[in-house]
Amino acid sequence: MTDAGGPDRRALRQARRARQAEREAHRAGMRALRDPARLAYGRGFLDGICAAMRPGDVAVDCGANVGDVAARLAATGARVIAYEPDPEVFALLRARLGALENVTLIEKGVGAQAGGAILRRLKGHARNPRAASLGNTVMEGVAYADPENTVAIEIADLAADLRAVLERTPEIALLKIDIEGAELDVLPALEAAGLLGRIRCTLVETHEVQMPHLADRFAALRASIAARHPRERVNLDWI
């Protein structure tokens, strides 16, 4: 029996099935990310870091969003440098933390080199901008990003910025990276520059669940980091 729809209709059905499978995988992944045990682990890890921070320590928060982590770090007396590229979110961050003398706010994303980029906002941004902003990304091909809702942003060369910080202090106590996929380029650049060894603890949220089309790159990144750094120094399972 032949398919009366022909090759074109079969291709459309296959494409629909592929999109549905991707949506289901994404939903399953997001449920895993909200797992209570995982969230409790992340909160406990941050509690331990904050307990060890001292006034004068330096913490760098890449992807600070509205400042939930940066605020906790600042409360320890540490000097906090926080990057946030989305202008709407940065306004909230500045209103919250801008008056603190030990906090420096930078309205930029971070990357392997300085320049410009297009930030893609999450679908549903209009309904809940604050929650949706957690998924903003500069990466292409991300299913949950809205191609009609973008903003031009500046990108800082993170390795260059960290080198400048380390000219004034012997080490960075904490580097937190939550940059929605851009860690694929940033972490290798930091490794190549020899900077991860000068940071007491690096926390990274990787995004293979949200970006399954980049799963091979994430797996290679994890293997590379695990071969060079103990998990206590470079933790890729930040929430």
pLDDT in tens, 39-62: 777 778 888 899 999 999 999 999
Residue 106 within a domain: yes
Q: Measuring CA to CA, which residue among 172, 135, 137, 156 is closest to residue 60?
A: 172
- Is 118 in a helix, a strand, or coil? strand
CB of 66 within 8 A of CB of 130? yes
CA angle 218, 180, 197 (to 5 degrees): 65
Helix (H) or strand (E) holding 117: strand 115-122
- pLDDT for 202 equals 96
Any idea what the CATH number is for the domain that residue 45 is in? 3.40.50.150
Domain interval for residue 228 = 35-113+150-235
- pLDDT for 1 equals 47
Residue 98 within a domain: yes
Report the domain count for the chain.
1
Distances (CA, A) of 219 to 100, 166, 184, 191: 39, 30, 10, 16
Judge whether residue 81 has pLDDT over 80: yes
Q: How far apart are CA 107 and CA 38, in angstroms?
A: 30
